[in-house]
Chain A
Amino acid sequence: EVMLVESGGGLVKPGGSLKLSCAASGFTFSSYALSWVRQTPEKRLEWVATISSGGNYTYFPDSMKGRFTISRDNAKNTLYLQMSSLRSEDTAIYYCARHKATVADYWGQGTTLTVSS
């Protein structure tokens, strides 16, 4: 069974940093591209970052470039999202998702980030 389990969310002050993790199991981790997608309090889904299967290529929307870093450890079957200079508008549920070709076919249960003073 494919499982993706996010962790690391919490309450962070504006300007702070946080690193999220996504532990994967039930599939050959190193064969799939992975993404982070967030859901805002208004329930809007936003693509945050994508990393290739080998970790050599990363992609971000322009709005996330420079503040967010996506990485993976294929030996540990774990995906990461390092976030810095956090703002209130980064408050969201953060999901990791597996991509089969261009389709996000499995999603984790999400971890919640709240940015507030």
Chain B
Amino acid sequence: DILLTQSPAILSVSPGERVSLSCRASQSIGTSIHWYQQRTNGSPRLLIKYASESISGIPSRFSGSGSGTDFTLTINSVESEDIADYYCQQSNSWPTYTFGGGTKLEIK
């Protein structure tokens, strides 16, 4: 199985900060990584697909980068509504797939 390791587990930020969330794969997966946001009591929402492709309706402050084994989700100028859990998911082994353990974004 392809393992995904997200770091940090918890990230405390101030509004307006630029933050980067990391996702590392146990083997090279090209750009087959997707990012999801999950707010409290909500369902996962797709933010970025295939490492860097934007999703309609998602604010432009969210962007993704990386390939191979190292991937980053960047939020430019964090807003209070961005407080949530963030998960990466790999589909390189489709139709099987796995998720990272998540990063919790908190406001300082």
- The answer to the question of A76 belonging to the interface, with a C-beta cut-off of 8 Å to chain B, is no
> CA separation between A106 and B43, bound complex, in Å?
9
Name the residue in A61, A95, A103, A110 with the highest tally of chain B Cβ atoms < 10 Å from its Cβ: A103
Are A45 and B32 CB-contacts (below 8 A) given A105-B46, A108-B43? no
B96 contacts A59, C-beta separation under 8 Å: yes
- The answer to the question of B89 belonging to the interface, with a C-beta cut-off of 8 Å to chain A, is yes
- The answer to the question of A85 belonging to the interface, with a C-beta cut-off of 8 Å to chain B, is no
CB contacts under 8 Å to A, within B83-108, are: 85, 87, 89, 91, 94-99, 101-102
Name the residue in A37, A57, A95 with the highest tally of chain B Cβ atoms < 10 Å from its Cβ: A37
Are A103 and B91 CB-contacts (below 8 A) given A43-B85, A95-B44? yes
Are A47 and B102 CB-contacts (below 8 A) given A104-B46, A107-B44? no
B102 contacts A43, C-beta separation under 8 Å: yes
B95 contacts A59, C-beta separation under 8 Å: yes
Residue in contact with B46 in the complex, picked from A33, A95, A103, CB distance below 8 Å: A103
Name the residue in A95, A107, A108 with the highest tally of chain B Cβ atoms < 10 Å from its Cβ: A107
Q: Which residues of A contact B34 (CB under 8 A)?
A: 103-104
What class of interface size applies to chain B in its complex with A? 20 to 34
- The answer to the question of A117 belonging to the interface, with a C-beta cut-off of 8 Å to chain B, is no
Residue in contact with B94 in the complex, picked from A44, A46, A95, A102, CB distance below 8 Å: A102
A33 contacts B99, C-beta separation under 8 Å: no
CB contacts under 8 Å to A, within B52-98, are: 55, 85, 87, 89, 91, 94-98
Given contacts A47-B97, A104-B36, 10 further A-B contacts (CB under 8 A): A45-B44, A47-B98, A50-B95, A59-B95, A102-B97, A104-B44, A104-B89, A105-B49, A107-B43, A107-B44
